[in-house]
Structure 1
Amino acid sequence: MRIKTVLILITIVLFISSISYCTEPDISAQSAILMDTISGRVLFDYNSQEKLPMASTTKIMTALIGIENGNMDDIVKINKDSVGIEGSSIYLYEDEEISKKDLLYGLMLRSGNDSAVAIAKHIGGDVGSFIEMMNMRSKEIGALNTNFVNPHGLEDKNHYTTAYDLALITKEALKSKEFREIVSAKTWVANRDKNNYFYNKNKTLWQYDGGDGVKIGYTKSAGRCLVSSATRKGMQLIAVVLNDGNWFNDCYKLFDYGFDNYESIIVYDKGQFIKNLKIKDGNEEYLPVITEDICTLPLKEDEKEKIKVVIHLPDELEAPIIKNTKVGRIEVYLDGEMMYTTNLISKYEVKKINFFEKLLRSLDK
């Protein structure tokens, strides 16, 4: 009887542990999301579509536009309109000459509002034109519930986003090597005579194992806002919390939930062979079709057997066909919901044969 009692107790403990292991985190944010950086799969969602002010997390988009336009070593001459901007500052002074790279580090590590204006004027010619670039880029990314009216995030009723949109913007920005290097830097020494030491305000880099970004923000109306990222076991996650007094700890709870319950699985690799496609009037009768990109998905253990892959290809293609031409699509579904899609492309070039070559081929058959 005693052995049975012990076994029953062990079973109960294991059952309770398994429940807590999968329980979604209890957080205090007004809005939050946890997203996989590669696939964009949402692993946790709380009011993520609510439009809210985002304070200095605005600067993620400012940095992205700054990196995508011009060279990192561009020299920016500071005019008086970029000096003495309200709030956080890297203390730019009129007629100072500073590299765009140093401005970007000052923007993301020290949250310099003056740096944001200097980047905007350098890239856009004026702040208004830069704001147009920010809004256009956000729509391209799919952040449809976001509106920027400034490059730094100071309070304005028409300046807003959602946790979901911020995650999408961050997902896009993290594709950039330069962006990843900037937001993961704990410190930076700028090439200037004074105020040249930038210390990153994002404690995620120190406090969370695998923390590698991204940006903090605070204003009275927005509250404490944090977009953070972390990577473990080949899986990078983005956590966003808006108006959250427990901002860092809540992001860490979201990360723990994601890393504890999901595993990054390769559904198919980049360049993976899918099928030999019949070719009409080509110097080759068949053409190998391969995947254009890798597909990795964060999956729970019980989801791995529920993945379904659907391939869309024509019965045949007509030559000529250029190498790496899109010839079809591959879609990945989980419980009927499409999680990922990418192109299927031609592995080789196939040339069109002339009349005499076709005649010779028919005689050989």
Structure 2
Amino acid sequence: MSRASWPPARALTAAAVCAASLLALCGPAVADGPYGIDDLRGAPPAPTENLLDEHGVQFLPRRGVAEPPRVSALSWAVTDLRGHRILAAKDAHRQLPPASTLKTLFALTVLPKFSQGAVRTVSSSDLAGIEAGSALAGLKEDMPYRVADLWHGVFLSSGSDAVHALAAMNGGWTKTIDDMQATADRLGAHDTTVESADGFDTPGQFSSAYDLSLFGQAGLTNRDFARFAATKTAHLPEDAGEDAYGIQNTNRLLVGSHGVTPYDGLIGVKNGYTTHAGNTLVAAARRGGRTLLVTVMNPQSGAENAVYEEARALLDWGFAAAPRAAAVGVLPTPAPDRRDPGTERAAHQAPRTALHQASTARSAGHQDDVILLSFSAAGVVALTVLGTALWWRRQPSGADGGGPEN
């Protein structure tokens, strides 16, 4: 090697060593935990497919993530709808009576079938068969109601009379139950057996926190469902003038009543109560572009507002934990309902599965890390070569580079 070529070669070698050192030093800093920087793109799905089948509370400890709060509900689940990740759950597949939270499945089944402006004149046969003790919206025989009025009665008043009127439009009570079961099967809600369209206590009727979360997730992709679920007050019938009367949503966490403070960012979905089921609640809230869905079934504490306060505690935990928490499972992406073009478009825009979405996020994160390190290493090389070139130009002609000649 000539005397003139040695310093640039030495500079390039030094640059390569620096770049390699930079890669080695930056690697552990980027790999903060097994899946990269915690806050970049969320945690991966659970490593165990059947984790939700296990008894008790399911939560994967992770650095910087507090354990979920201890609540008295027999079953519950916290889902981050960004990625459909279940962050924590207790007995998610335990079959329990759902009470009026089953009306979410009723709405998923019947809501897309009729125009909101269609009119139904309620008949005595529409209101036949309502179980004693059922919640009512106060529908009157021979009174015309728009379909939107009837849905206000379902979502706000949890009215079995409104459910019966809509079921009559759908072809009858028995057909509606069969249709609801078919919808549950389509969504993969295998814990759910439908025996009553309004959720009233009926032998053999069950659902689970997992299935109710499926219904809530699917419902929020439907614009009408989401709008009714978030409505706090309405007039029934809306266009009846002096004959109209006001109704208020019975979801205390949404409206703030009976000693419950409304939850900041709550967007619905549905509450329920029967003697056998106890209190049940599916609640969704949105903050900072993130939507969480919490399902709580049958709190055992005995406190009057336990279902709402336990849902509040789980939502608070979820918003704090979601950026870093590892998932214990995933909800499948809702399959499009061909009857609702809005739902179909939303489903086509989403990734095919939550597992695919999580995998894509991890791949993107890895690519970003590689790009960042590549630019850093290139910068070191460029600065080293430039500095060496400037130094070499300042040396006298024929200066010895300090290495042996060959």
- TM-score relative to the length of structure 1: 0.66
Q: Of the two, which has the highest radius of gyration?
A: 2
The answer as to whether partners of 1:66 and 1:104 remain within 8 angstroms in 2 is: no
The answer as to whether partners of 2:235 and 2:244 remain within 8 angstroms in 1 is: no
2:226 corresponds to: 180
Which runs of 5 or more residues in structure 1 are unaligned? 1-17, 266-291, 310-365
Distance 2:222 2:232 in 1: 18
The percentage of counterpart residues that share the same residue type is 27
Alignment of 1:271-282 (within 5 A): none
Match of residue 69, structure 1, among 113, 128, 133:
113
1:254 corresponds to: 314
Check 1:194–1:82 CA distance in 2 against 1; reply closer, same or farther (3 A cut).
farther
Alignment of 1:194-209 (within 5 A): 194=243, 196-206=245-255, 207-209=262-264
Distance 2:313 2:119 in 1: 41
Alignment of 1:11-160 (within 5 A): 22-83=66-127, 85=130, 86=132, 87-123=134-170, 125-160=171-206
1:343 corresponds to: none
Check 1:72–1:264 CA distance in 2 against 1; reply closer, same or farther (3 A cut).
farther
Normalized per residue, the structure richer in helix is 2
1:215 corresponds to: 270
Which SS does the other structure have where 2:168 is aligned? helix
Distance 2:64 2:320 in 1: 11
Distance 1:182 1:220 in 2: 26
Which runs of 5 or more residues in structure 2 are unaligned? 1-61, 256-261, 326-347, 365-406
2:46 corresponds to: none
Distance 2:254 2:173 in 1: 31
Distance 2:291 2:176 in 1: 30
Q: C-alpha root-mean-square deviation of aligned residues, in Å?
A: 2.8
Higher deviation after alignment, 158-167 or 236-245: 236-245
The one-character-per-residue Cα deviations of 1:89-136 (angstroms, maximum 9, x if unpaired) are 11222222111111001101011011111111112x111111111110
Check 1:240–1:175 CA distance in 2 against 1; reply closer, same or farther (3 A cut).
same
| Aligned positions, number | 262
Check 1:264–1:187 CA distance in 2 against 1; reply closer, same or farther (3 A cut).
farther
Q: Which residue type is aligned with residue 250 of structure 2?
A: K
Distance 2:127 2:173 in 1: 14
Q: Which residue type is aligned with residue 150 of structure 1?
A: S
The answer as to whether partners of 1:40 and 1:168 remain within 8 angstroms in 2 is: no
Which SS does the other structure have where 2:104 is aligned? helix
Which SS does the other structure have where 2:349 is aligned? coil
Higher deviation after alignment, 93-102 or 20-29: 20-29
Distance 1:218 1:42 in 2: 25
1:232 corresponds to: 287
- TM-score relative to the length of structure 2: 0.60
Distance 1:149 1:238 in 2: 25
1:293 matched to 2:337: no
Q: Which residue type is aligned with residue 138 of structure 2?
A: Y
The answer as to whether partners of 1:149 and 1:158 remain within 8 angstroms in 2 is: yes
The one-character-per-residue Cα deviations of 1:200-236 (angstroms, maximum 9, x if unpaired) are 1112224111111011100010001111110011111
Check 1:137–1:19 CA distance in 2 against 1; reply closer, same or farther (3 A cut).
same
2:362 corresponds to: 307
Check 1:305–1:173 CA distance in 2 against 1; reply closer, same or farther (3 A cut).
closer
Check 1:71–1:44 CA distance in 2 against 1; reply closer, same or farther (3 A cut).
same
The answer as to whether partners of 2:64 and 2:324 remain within 8 angstroms in 1 is: no
Q: Which residue type is aligned with residue 249 of structure 2?
A: N
The answer as to whether partners of 1:264 and 1:297 remain within 8 angstroms in 2 is: no
